[in-house]
Amino acid sequence: MFRFKETDFYLIGVILLLVGLGTLNLYSATIPQKETFFYKQLIWNIIGLTCLFLFAFYDYHRLMKYSSFLYVLFLVLLLLVLVYGRGTGGAKRWISIGLFSFQPSELMKPVMILLYSRLLSVRGEVKTWGKVFELGLYALLPALLIAKQPDLGTAVVMLFLFLVYLFVASSHLKYFFIVTFSSLGFLPVLWEFLKDYQKRRLLVFLDPDYDPLGVGYNLLQSKISLGSGGLFGVGFLKGLQHKLRFLPEHHTDFIFCVWGEEFGFVGVVVLLSLYLLLLWRMYKVALLAKDKEGFYIVCGVISLFFLHIFVNIAMTVGIIPVKGLPLPFFSYGGSATLSFFISAGLVLSVYRWRFAKEGGRSW
Q: Residue 84: which residues within 8 A CB-CB, separation 6 or more?
A: 95
Is pTM beyond 0.95? Reply is no
pLDDT of res. 362: 39
pLDDT at residue 319, as a whole number: 86
pLDDT of residue 327: 95
**pLDDT higher than threshold 90 for residue 63:** yes
pLDDT of residue 354: 82
Pick from 73-77, 106-110, 242-246, 350-354: least confident: 242-246
- C-alpha–C-alpha distance, residues 337 and 326, integer Å: 9
Confidence band (pLDDT; 50, 70, 90) for 359? very low
Q: Which residue has the higher pLDDT, 214 or 53?
A: 53
Q: Is the pLDDT of residue 106 over 90?
A: yes
User: By percentage, how much of the chain surpasses pLDDT 70?
Assistant: 85
- pLDDT (mean) for 247-253: 82
Burial of 19 (0-12, 13-18, 19+ CB in 10 A): buried
For residue range 9-55, what is the model confidence (pLDDT) as tens digits?
999 999 999 999 999 999 998 886 666 888 899 999 999 999 999 99
The domain ranges of the chain are: 4-353
Average pLDDT, the chain: 87
